Amino acid sequence: MNESNLHSALKELYTETAEEHELCINGFIVDVVRDGSIIEIQTGGFSKLNKKLAALLPDYKVKIVYPIAFKKTLIVYDSKKENILYKRKSPKKGQLLDIMDELVYIPKHIAHPNLCLEVLLTIEEEIRAADGRGSWRRKGVSIVDRRLLDIIDRVEFACEADFIKLLPANLPPSFSNKQLSIIMDEPMSKVGKLTYCFKHMGLLQVVGKKGKAYEFKLCN
């Protein structure tokens, strides 16, 4: 199934017996089944999860395990993937809030009582190849694999209170995305995804509008 080393390592971590692997349930292959619950290791994007979750959540408890690279070493091979051209530390450090980049794809499922999310902050190696097939941003260098070196933290989101912890303690009674961006010291794009998801989850409500900016407040 062309799974990465990262996906394989995490699947082994959450599995006790080989019989729990890769089972077909409600028309979909799932990574792990333990004690009647499903564990999905998601190392890619969430954009294709909607149909799968719609089929599984009515009947099963589902935990999505999603790794975010807190620290990452880039290892770049030549086009034949034989010789290492160079290694370097990635300047980008992942954080819990990065999960919003993916949750925007499944807003109607996030608050489902059968869904649980576990975010892993990891130390990884990202294997690349200078094969000319990658994006223009990487100048044609392709990402070919991810390797798990360590897990430095695990954070579970099982209920509304867990998600609320992502918001700052000094939140005003009402706020816009711009205000939240300043308070959290995060880009507007990231904050906008958070308020979008929280609104769909019933955690935030729109209470007004100033110009083109919506004003939000926490739901009671």
Looking at 105, 137, 158, the residue that finishes a domain is 158
- Provide the residue range defining the domain that includes 173: 167-220
194 neighbors 177 (Cβ within 8 angstroms): no
Specify whether 197 is located in the same domain as 114. no
Question: Given a cut of 60, is residue 30 above it in pLDDT?
Answer: yes
Mean of all residue pLDDT scores within the chain: 92
Cα 81 to chain centroid distance, Å, stands at 28
Specify whether 120 is located in the same domain as 154. yes
Specify whether 23 is located in the same domain as 61. yes
Specify whether 96 is located in the same domain as 195. no
Looking at 116, 131, 158, the residue that finishes a domain is 158
Stretch among 16-25, 120-129, 158-167, 209-218 having the lowest mean pLDDT: 16-25
- Rounded CA-CA distance 89/73 in Å is 4
Specify whether 12 is located in the same domain as 110. yes
Across the range 35-43, mean pLDDT stands at 93
Quick one: pLDDT at residue 3?
75
Specify whether 144 is located in the same domain as 200. no
Quick one: pLDDT at residue 21?
79
- Residue of 53 and 169 predicted with greater confidence: 53
**Number of structural domains found in the chain:** 2
| CATH label of the domain that carries residue 192 | 1.10.10.10
Residue 212's pLDDT band (boundaries 50, 70, 90)?
Answer: confident
CB atoms within 10 A of CB 113: 9
Specify whether 61 is located in the same domain as 17. yes
- Rounded CA-CA distance 78/25 in Å is 41
Question: Given a cut of 60, is residue 160 above it in pLDDT?
Answer: yes
The DSSP secondary-structure symbol of 97 reads: G
Across the range 119-135, mean pLDDT stands at 91
Nearest to 154 by CA among 119, 103, 102, 124: 119
Query: For the segment 65-87, what is each residue's pLDDT rounded down to a tens digit?
Result: 999 999 999 999 988 888 999 99
**Following CA atoms 101, 104, 110, 116 in sequence, which dihedral angle do they give, to the nearest 10 degrees?**
-20
Quick one: pLDDT at residue 2?
60
Looking at 134, 158, 182, the residue that finishes a domain is 158
Specify whether 154 is located in the same domain as 214. no
Quick one: pLDDT at residue 19?
67
- Rounded CA-CA distance 186/210 in Å is 21
pTM flag (> 0.85): yes
CB atoms within 10 A of CB 152: 11
Specify whether 96 is located in the same domain as 175. no
Quick one: pLDDT at residue 140?
85
Specify whether 83 is located in the same domain as 182. no
Q: Where are the beta strands (DSSP E) in the chain?
A: 21-25, 28-34, 37-41, 62-77, 84-89, 115-129, 142-157, 204-210, 213-218
